[in-house]
Amino acid sequence: MLSVTPIYAALLALLYVVLSVRVILQRRQDKISYGDGGSSDMLKAIRTHSNFVEYAPFALLLIAMAELQGAGHLILNLLGLGLLSGRLLHAYGFGRTPQIVVLRQLGMVLTFGTLLVAALANLMMAL
């Protein structure tokens, strides 16, 4: 039974909703119903949201599989916090105008670190 992963899944879902609402609000502001309409602000909102969607689900899946294989709460919470922190920092740094590049980079380092550690943990537990 999963007890740690659902906490991070729920927190990440809240971030997903915030990023989705930002896209909707930007669409309304720029009066764009489809695509980016050539607006750099619209493109930034879309890509901030899309980047989240490209990384968070796969990392959560790896964390859930590690938990199902019996990983301890400490490693699961470190992975969850790494993913959540990474996605928050990336979204904030990337979504600002001008971008806060160091936050964007730190967010990706945390996200990639989480993916790598979770992948290795799953491999080690499965073998």
pTM as predicted: 0.95
pLDDT bin (cut points 50, 70, 90) of residue 16 is very high
Could you count the other beta carbons within 10 Å of the beta carbon of residue 4? 20
Each domain of the chain, given as residue ranges in start order, spans: 5-126
- What percent of the chain stands above pLDDT 70? 100
Residue 20: which residues within 8 A CB-CB, separation 6 or more? 49
Q: Band of the pLDDT at 40, cuts 50, 70, 90?
A: very high
State the chain's mean pLDDT as an integer: 97
State in Å, rounded, how far the first CA of the chain is from the last one: 21
pLDDT, tens only, 79-104: 999 999 999 999 999 999 999 999 99
pLDDT tens digits along 52-67: 999 999 999 999 999 9
Residue 64 is predicted with a pLDDT of 98
Architecture of domain 5-126: Up-down Bundle (1.20)
pLDDT at 48: 97
User: Mean of the pLDDT values across residues 99-111?
Assistant: 98
